[in-house]
Amino acid sequence: MNKTLNITWLYPDLLNLHGDRGNIMAFERIGKKMGLDVNVNRVDTFSQPIDFENSDIIFMNAGELKSVKSVVENIKKYGNAIYDFIESGKPVIAIGTTGAVMIDKTIRSDGSVIEGLGVIHAEATERKAIYGDDLHFCLNEDKDFELMAVQIHLIDFTLKDKKDALGTLIYGKGNNDNDMTEGGKYKNAIFTNALGPVFVKNPWYTEKIINEALKAKGETPAEPVEESFYSLERNSFKAIHSFIKQKTE
């Protein structure tokens, strides 16, 4: 019998920017390649319950900043459920501006403040101008593990401790203009500025997250995906790397 991976996809119609539904498709594709039965459970509305107990990964794609407050308020209705989920080591992933859900607070351009879940200790400030470019970084937990993506930057994140960063910049803006950090991480809860969709462009990272989810529920890692399966994405990575190099010369 195959192992099962249950992905809870929060508010896909609300958090729907940049074609990032492709991230969910990437998890389905790689999970099946790893020999798993992948179930994607959509939570489309705030009235629909979030089944934390039967979730292995919780996913929030990029959405508009104005949506963050309502998302946080709805998740907080479940009390400590999200915090218990995270403490168990299960992955929670927030993409792009939706990263504001995971942090302490975000200050909007009109001075209003959005309180986040406070899972990752950081503050954010809404930008006056939108920034977009390629994004290349390595994971802080493994400097040899590199990711390639793009970024459309609407808010600047500032981590209270740079050790909480998901990664270190190789090229791009990442969290802000100053400290070479990208994203944030606590256990397996992350936010990242990486779009693309990032898990389509970097399927080896998808595989890594899936194995973390299996580990969190006491199961052994799945068999590694053969490297040849990633040939298209590896070649794309090399091509974009060469393009970035030309921009910096």
Contact 66, 163 (CB under 8 A): no
| Fold type of domain 4-248 | Rossmann fold (3.40.50)
Per-residue pLDDT reduced to its tens digit, 24-61:
999 999 999 999 999 999 999 999 999 999 999 999 99
Give the residue carrying structure tokens 């090399």: 238
198, 95 Cβ separation under 8 angstroms? yes
pLDDT of residue 1 exceeding 80: no
Instruction: Return the H-helix or E-strand segment holding 184.
Output: strand 184-186
207-245: per-residue pLDDT in tens?
999 999 999 999 999 989 999 999 999 999 999 999 999
User: What's the pLDDT tens digit per position in 118-165?
Assistant: 999 999 999 999 989 999 999 999 999 999 999 998 999 999 999 999
Domain residue extents for the chain:
4-248
pLDDT score recorded for residue 141: 97
Q: What Rg do the C-alpha atoms of the chain give, in angstroms?
A: 17
pLDDT at 48: 97
Q: What is the per-residue pLDDT for 77?
A: 97
pTM of the model: 0.96
**Alpha carbon separation from 24 to 12, 19, 195, 221 (Å, rounded):** 10, 11, 13, 20
Task: Give residue 9's pLDDT band: very low, low, confident or very high (50, 70, 90).
Answer: very high
d(CA 205, CA 17): 21
* Structure token pair of residue 53: 């107990």
pLDDT classification of 205: cutoffs 50, 70, 90: very high
- In angstroms, rounded to a whole number, what is the distance separating the alpha carbons of residues 180 and 89? 26
- The whole-number pLDDT of residue 179 equals 96
Give tens-digit pLDDT for 157-198: 999 999 999 999 999 999 998 999 999 999 999 999 999 999
